Amino acid sequence: MHYTTEQGYGPLPFDPFKAIVAPRPIGWISTLNKDGVPNLGPYSFFSAISSRPNMIGFTSDTLKHSARNAMESGEFVFNLSTVDLLHEMNKSSEEVEDGVNEFELAGLEAAPSRVVKPPRVAAAVAALECKTTFSQALLDLDGKETGGYQIIGQVVATYIDDRLIKDGRFDTAAARPLGRCGYRDYAGVESVFELLRPTDPGKVIR
Ligand X SMILES: Cc1cc2nc3c(=O)[nH]c(=O)nc-3n(C[C@H](O)[C@H](O)[C@H](O)COP(=O)(O)O)c2cc1C
Work out how close the CB of 109 gets to ligand X at its nearest, in angstroms, rounded to a whole number. 18
Neighbouring CB atoms inside 10 A of 85's CB total 22
Options 23, 25, 26, 128; binder of ligand X; rule CB under 6 A: 26
User: Do residues 179 and 25 make contact, with C-beta atoms less than 8 angstroms apart?
Assistant: yes
Give the nearest distance from C-beta 60 to ligand X in angstroms.
4
Q: Which of these ranges, 54-62, 119-127, 136-144, 155-163, lies near ligand X under the rule CB under 6 A?
A: 54-62
Question: Which of 37, 45, 101, 105 contacts ligand X by CB under 6 A?
Answer: 45
Q: Quote the Cα angle for 173-177-178, to 5°.
A: 140
Query: Does 132 contact ligand X by CB under 6 A?
Result: no
Per-position DSSP letters for 12-59, written without gaps between them: -SS--HHHHS--EE-EEEEEE-TT--EEEEEESSEEEEEETTEEEEEE
Q: Report if residue 97 touches ligand X, rule: CB under 6 A.
A: no
What is the binding site for ligand X (CB under 6 A)?
26, 39, 41-45, 59-61, 64-66, 90, 93-95, 102, 180
